[in-house]
Amino acid sequence: MRNNDMFNVTHSSRKYIVLFIWILGLWSCKSEEQNTTSSSVPFDPMQPVVVEDFQPKSGGMGQRLIIYGKNFGTDPSMITVLIGGKEAKVISSTGDALYCLVPRKAFSGDIEVRVGPKDNKVVGKATTRFQYERKMVVSTVIGYRNERGDEPWKDGKFKDSDPNKMASGFWNQSFFKFDPANPKHLWAVFDFNNGLYLFNFEDSTVTKVRSDLDRPRSVDFHPRSQVYDCGRRPWWRK
């Protein structure tokens, strides 16, 4: 008899526990829904757009940025964010905070938030600037590499869809210097190579100007006589 009573009590307790957990779950979902609804504030075109703060204070292209303020609305398609005069990608907004990505070349760092239809936007501006940090990007400007790594030394274009028309080589240690008379001309010599090379950024070509040098390891210019000094032999520029 006692065993049956204990079973009935235990079984009843389990039902109450399950009911309690179910009610608690409903209450939690309702609370979350209320919090979400209360934190999402729609845009009011009769009110100003205010930019109060942003985090982080610095970063480069692609940096995730949160801008805090008032009257941003909740529709990203109605929001335009300019950072340094460049348009940022707006991801989301709750009305008093928006999430965006810093665009490239946002050098000045001025932050401006525009909300509303395209022809009638309300504008808000930050009082401080975002410190844009330039990122160093390393890429191949000139030449190519084949599978064997033994591409020949030859003149040609910086880049071309046909590798046969591209300049290549540049294996050995090198020395470069820009021409003071023309900043779009970059002169180069390579150790264990007999040439003086002109990298012309005006037409994006590489040309071997001289081929009678003996292991040249420097390039310099004389301000009066316009002499190319290629390490061991001077050469007067025409």
Q: How confident is the model at residue 192 (pLDDT cuts 50, 70, 90)?
A: confident
Angle, CA 84 vertex, CA 81 and CA 90 arms, to 5°: 20
Give the span between the Cα atoms of 93 and 79, in whole angstroms.
Answer: 9
Percent of the chain, pLDDT > 90? 42
What is the residue extent of each domain of the chain?
50-132, 156-236
The predicted pLDDT at position 163 comes to: 81
pLDDT of residue 170: 76
Contacts of 32 (CB under 8 A, 6+ apart): none
pTM beyond 0.75 = no
pLDDT at residue 83, rounded to an integer: 97
The candidate with the shortest Cα–Cα distance to 121, out of 112, 129, 130, is 112
pLDDT bin (cut points 50, 70, 90) of residue 235 is low
Peptide bond into 183 cis (omega under 30): no
Residue 123 neighbours by CB under 8 Å, 6+ apart = 49, 112, 113, 114
Amino acid occupying residue 4: N
Q: Characterize the bridge pairing of strands 86-93 and 97-101.
A: antiparallel
CATH topology of domain 50-132: Immunoglobulin-like (2.60.40)
Q: Is the pLDDT of residue 188 over 60?
A: yes
Which string of DSSP letters, residue by residue, matches 62-118?
T-EEEEEEE---S-GGGEEEEETTEEEEEEEE-SSEEEEEPPTT--S--EEEEESST
Residue 22 has pLDDT above 70, yes or no: no
Instruction: List the single range of 18-27, 31-40, 70-79, 163-172 with lowest mean pLDDT.
Output: 31-40
